[in-house]
Amino acid sequence: MQASSCRLVKRKMNPSIARDTPPPMTQQQAAALHKQRLRTELLARRKVLGEQDKIAADAVIGQRILDWCATHAIHSLAVYQPIRREPDLSATYNALAARGVHLCLPVVVDKDAALEFRAWQPGDPLQKDGMGTLVPPAGTTVVRPQALLIPCLGVNPAGYRLGYGGGFYDRTLAASPRPLAVGVCHSFGRVEFEAQAHDIPLDSIIFEDV
């Protein structure tokens, strides 16, 4: 019987398959993807938060903001008009104004710039900007607040904020002089993520549970 012989045949890889194989993600890309997944999850959590639970949580957060402002002798504060079911602090703004605290609201003047702050008190007229956010009209006095009240989707244990990804507050906090930054976050927003080079930690964070 003749011994059979076998031959190894090299298969050529289809060039189109090789081209379609994505390169491995960099650490920075992986961190950005993780943040985006967290944003999706946390926005979903906000949507399913019961109305009565939200009202109760917002009231606790509001009282803690009043206490924080008194402790830090805050005389001027940048606040925000809530979007995407952020804590509604209208009653807190009324109380701060009654105490003589000068309030203002952030305005996006350019997608790559720091925020501008325009003087505002409860009851003053507002108009929608290009992104649908209520802001004081053009021509309103521009101010530099002592502190910023910053809504957060999430925060990590080191005090870094997870927002919507625009970077507006980071650019604002990088400017000089730097205002105090107090984050406002629902308790389910405590999450783990790595801060990136441009991220700036908050000075304080206010939750409804502790």
| Binding site feature residues for ATP | 35-39, 161-169
Gyration radius from the chain CA atoms: 24
Amino acid at 38: L
Question: Are the C-beta atoms of residues 181 and 150 closer than 8 Å to each other?
Answer: yes
Which residue positions form the known binding site for substrate? 86
Which residue positions form the known binding site? 35-39, 86, 161-169
Q: State both tokens at 157.
A: 């244990």
Residue 145: helix, strand or coil by DSSP? coil
Amino acid at 192: E
Run of H or E including 67:
helix 51-71
For residue 75, give the nearest of 165, 144, 166 by alpha carbon. Answer: 144
CA distance 51 to 35: 26
Residue 184 DSSP symbol? E
